[in-house]
């Protein structure tokens, strides 16, 4: 069953975010089977506004998403990520066809 990694973020330093984090993070995620699904500004419909942008990536399953997040190549980007953006990462399982 697919899993979705949801990233909420606000860019603090556009140059660091773009040049040192974003492209490298995407490459490491693809190695773990990630497929970008959505990316852009959030439009909050209800509740407290938080971080301004979001991205969603589909992974083959929850374990693949966790393996990516915990991989040495992604963990090496964590410090750069903290300089380039404020963020929150979450993972949720997709809905299986049997439960629909």
**What is the Cα–Cα distance from 65 to 67, expressed in whole angstroms?**
5
Query: CA 60 → CA 1, 24, 34, 67, 95, distances in Å?
Result: 7, 20, 7, 11, 12
If one counts every other C-beta atom within 10 angstroms of the C-beta of residue 64, the result is 19
**What is the Cα–Cα distance from 44 to 88, expressed in whole angstroms?**
16
Model pLDDT, residue 54: 94
Report the DSSP beta bridge partners of residue 5.
Answer: 57, 91
**Matching residue, tokens 């990536």:** 57
- Taken in order of first residue, the domains within the chain and their CATH numbers are 3-43+51-94 (3.30.70.100)
11-53: pLDDT as tens digits: 999 999 999 999 899 999 999 999 999 999 988 889 887 899 9
Query: pTM of the predicted model, to two decimals?
Result: 0.88
């Amino acid at each position: 069953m697919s899993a979705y990694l949801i990233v909420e973020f606000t860019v603090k330093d556009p140059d660091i975010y773009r040049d040192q984090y974003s492209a490298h993070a995407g490459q490491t995620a693809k190695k773990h089977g990630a497929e970008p699904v959505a990316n852009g500004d959030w439009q909050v419909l209800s509740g407290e506004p938080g971080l301004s942008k979001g991205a969603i990536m589909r992974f083959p399953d929850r374990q693949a998403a966790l393996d990516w997040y915990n991989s040495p190549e992604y963990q090496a980007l964590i410090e750069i990520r903290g300089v380039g953006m404020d963020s929150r990462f979450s993972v949720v399982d997709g809905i299986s066809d049997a439960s629909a």
